[in-house]
Amino acid sequence: MTFTLSTALPGDGSPVSPLLDRAFGPGSQESRLVEVLAEQYPAFDPGLSLLAERDGEAVAYALFLPRTIRLRGADVPLAACGPVATVPEHQGSGAGTFVMEAALAALAERGLVGSLLLGHPSYYPRFGYGPAFDLQLVRAPERLLGEAPGEEGDTAAWRGIEGHDLPALVALHWRAHAAGNGAERRSAAAMDWASLAEGSHTLVWTESGADAPSGSANGGSVGDGGPRAYLRFRVRESVQITECGARDPRGVSAILAFTARLVREHARPQAEFRIPFAHAVSRELFRRGCTFESNNFGGAAMLQIGDWPGLFRHTDSSWAAVLAGAGHRSISLEIDGATHSLALVDGELRLGRKRDNLRHLVVPDGWAPGLITGHRCAADLIFDETILSRSQLDPEGLRLLPALFPKSQPMWTHSTVYEVADG
């Protein structure tokens, strides 16, 4: 079939919302999500809101949003994908593939090295996506939330967010999440903070007086009366803390005390914190004996890299540090049939296309995104004889892999606005 491509914005007379309602059901949350993003997201790019048409009928749609994501200790320009939809009558016709391939080409033109999404793991790998992020949970019963002395008085200073809080929230979020692979650099736009989904709430904690710190953290004001902690929550079978951050240990205590109050008031058995294990709140919950769980999100949290040289350039310091620390000068990686040579020259990383005959790793299809984030690690490579038989790694090259691809617990801390579709 032949399709034509155009850009389209939601709104009166636009085919975008009717198409999404046909794909997801009348009055779909996805339709509302696109409208909110187009109206409120500062970096919304109309050229990444793409529509496929056939014989004048809108049949498929894809939206990508430029975001900055932390990978391997560096800020990487990527895009968040969603929603993607094809009307039921044209599913299987190639319309979805057409609009996705056009969108990925547009990302490359804009210098975005790839994209992330939450999607079906059997569909998106055809576009180069691979599982790359985990879901990390900490389960905390009420008895472990409020046991620290003095926390009982911390619950009264919580309030809804206000416009002047946003710069401080950006700083608090980054302080809490920047250490992990998958952390977003948030904007000070309300849509990155306000709880737009029904039943979801975002609150901030302030503390005035002599004990309140003044100054700033990473560019956000945290002066007297300003937010020292924040949390976003919703009540389901348990109280779910979907995001939080604190300026200092007092802020951590305030988060736990308020969560204990929520658990009691809503008569829930526990709180469920959906935060990275490296988070300051997670560390305190670990000290108290809470239960930690991690899973691979069913393979649904995926990353796609369309510009591997660009990815290596943005993360060059991490690769250079590994090569320098191990005393090696080079290694080559074969990803999706293309060779990428990483060489250390005068302390700087140099990229090329030449295969290293002593240290050449053939990365299995779909594994590279997960190796970049730490979702997969060197052990997955070393203990697979098929991989080793296709690669050429001398003993030094094998010893290099654990430092090159360390295991971590990556988690994509996607923007609050996506809860509109999550419900």
Q: What percent of the chain has pLDDT over 70?
A: 93
Range of weakest confidence among 41-45, 140-144, 159-163, 413-417: 413-417
Q: Choose between 14 and 224: higher pLDDT.
A: 14
What is the overall mean pLDDT for the chain? 91
d(CA 254, CA 231) in angstroms, rounded, equals 10
Q: What percent of the chain has pLDDT over 90?
A: 81
The pLDDT, as a whole number, for residue 288 is 95
Give the pLDDT mean for 337-341.
97
Band of the pLDDT at 11, cuts 50, 70, 90? confident
* CATH (residue range 307-404): 3.30.1050
CATH 3.50.30.30 fits 4-112, yes or no: no
Range of weakest confidence among 104-113, 167-176, 199-208, 222-231: 222-231
All CATH 3.30.1050 domain ranges of the chain, comma separated, are 307-404
d(CA 112, CA 109) in angstroms, rounded, equals 8
Band of the pLDDT at 223, cuts 50, 70, 90? very low
Judged against a pLDDT cut of 50, whether residue 371 lies above it is answered with yes
Band of the pLDDT at 62, cuts 50, 70, 90? very high
Judged against a pLDDT cut of 80, whether residue 26 lies above it is answered with yes
The pLDDT, as a whole number, for residue 220 is 43
Q: 344 pairs with which residues across the strands? A: 349
pLDDT tens sequence across 171-211: 999 999 999 999 999 999 998 998 877 889 999 999 754 34
Cβ atoms of 341 and 355 closer than 8 Å: yes
The pLDDT, as a whole number, for residue 212 is 46
Phi-psi region of 73 (alpha: psi -120 to 50; beta: other; left: phi over 0): left
pLDDT tens sequence across 81-96: 989 999 999 999 999 9
All CATH 3.40.630.30 domain ranges of the chain, comma separated, are 4-112, 135-295
Judged against a pLDDT cut of 60, whether residue 423 lies above it is answered with no
* CATH (residue range 135-295): 3.40.630.30
d(CA 133, CA 335) in angstroms, rounded, equals 19
The burial class, CB within 10 Å (0-12 / 13-18 / 19+), for 228 is: buried
The pLDDT, as a whole number, for residue 416 is 84
For the chain, percent helix, then strand, then coil, each to nearest 5?
35, 30, 35
Beta strand 130-131 with 359-362: parallel, antiparallel or unpaired? unpaired
The pLDDT, as a whole number, for residue 248 is 94
Judged against a pLDDT cut of 70, whether residue 310 lies above it is answered with yes
pLDDT tens sequence across 377-399: 999 999 999 999 999 999 999 99
d(CA 328, CA 322) in angstroms, rounded, equals 8
Dmax (CA) for the chain in angstroms is: 70
The pLDDT, as a whole number, for residue 154 is 55
Judged against a pLDDT cut of 60, whether residue 214 lies above it is answered with no
